[in-house]
């Protein structure tokens, strides 16, 4: 699943007329980099959630044939359901097995590979070194396990493998994903890996220009 429904407030005025996932990065829309990477990895089915200016994303991507993919859409309208609510709404399209989750507003050269969640694990997070705008990081990573306390600390890259059971107790509506990940980490149900390749949170015009 690619998260692409947000308003992109910090990216205004660029996102007043173009949804953030369609902003150009290195000659192609940001979303196009994600779709191409997933296709190269042998992933064939993708769900994209739509919110702000979602019709433009649907028109650009279509059914995904151009990328060698089958793309389905989860319509949220505006305002969108935030990260957690958007994923939960899309679960009927995603099925009962773990799935890759990708934030539509990051740029990276991460190579997706098959990943099987360990027994009792509800999430596997890709972490990166803390960027200048987020020096405290999000999680600690020790021996492949993610915790909310400890060191060294790293930043969630916006890429994960999630088990639908992570949302079992959630009520439909607007809610963020981060509290669910933190609660699962406290239970010891989150693994992680450190990615050291190219990565950028394309969250502001300045960071977009620097990619």
* Arithmetic mean of pLDDT, 108-137: 93
Q: Return the pLDDT at 198.
A: 92
Structure tokens at 192: 């992680």
Neighbouring C-alpha atoms within 13 Å toward the C-beta of 172: 5
Q: pLDDT tens-digit profile of 156-210? A: 999 999 999 999 999 999 999 999 999 999 999 999 999 999 998 877 767 776 6
50 CB contacts (<8 Å, ≥6 apart)? Answer: 4, 5, 57, 58, 73, 74, 75, 76
Domain 2-209 fold is Spore Coat Polysaccharide Biosynthesis Protein SpsA; Chain A (3.90.550)
Q: Return the pLDDT at 12.
A: 84
10-24, 39-53, 158-172: which range is least confident on average? 10-24
Q: Is residue 142 very low, low, confident or very high in pLDDT (cuts 50, 70, 90)? A: very high
Q: Return the pLDDT at 211.
A: 67
Q: Return the pLDDT at 44.
A: 93
Q: pLDDT tens-digit profile of 77-111? A: 888 899 999 999 999 999 999 999 999 989 999 99
pTM, to two decimals: 0.93
| Domain residue ranges in the chain | 2-209
In 3-state terms, what secondary structure has residue 52?
Answer: coil
Average pLDDT, the chain: 92
More confident position, 111 or 12: 111
Query: What gap in Å lies between CA 155 and CA 130, rounded to an integer?
Result: 5
Beta strands in the chain (DSSP E): 2-3, 24-25, 28-29, 45-50, 70-75, 99-103, 106-108, 123-128, 139-142, 145-147, 153-162, 190-194, 199-201
Structure tokens at 144: 């492949």
């Amino acid at each position: 699943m690619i998260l692409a429904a947000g308003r992109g407030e910090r990216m205004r005025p660029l996102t007043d007329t173009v949804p953030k996932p369609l902003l150009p990065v290195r000659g192609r829309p940001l979303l196009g980099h994600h779709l191409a990477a997933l296709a190269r990895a042998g992933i064939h089915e993708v769900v994209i959630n739509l919110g702000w200016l979602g019709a433009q994303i649907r028109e650009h991507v279509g059914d995904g044939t151009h990328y060698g993919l089958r793309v389905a859409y989860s319509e949220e309208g505006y305002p969108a359901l935030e990260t957690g609510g958007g994923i939960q709404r899309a679960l009927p399209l995603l099925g009962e097995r773990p799935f890759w989750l990708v934030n539509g507003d990051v740029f990276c050269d991460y190579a997706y590979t098959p990943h099987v969640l360990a027994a009792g694990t509800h999430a596997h997070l890709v972490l990166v070194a803390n960027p200048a705008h987020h020096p405290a990081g999000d999680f600690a990573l020790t021996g492949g396990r993610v915790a909310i306390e400890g060191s060294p600390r790293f930043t969630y890259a916006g890429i994960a493998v999630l088990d639908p059971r992570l949302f079992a107790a959630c009520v439909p509506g607007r809610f963020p994903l981060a509290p669910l990940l933190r609660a699962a980490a406290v239970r010891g149900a989150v693994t992680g890996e450190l990615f050291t390749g190219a990565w950028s949170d394309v969250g502001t015009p300045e960071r977009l220009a620097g990619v």
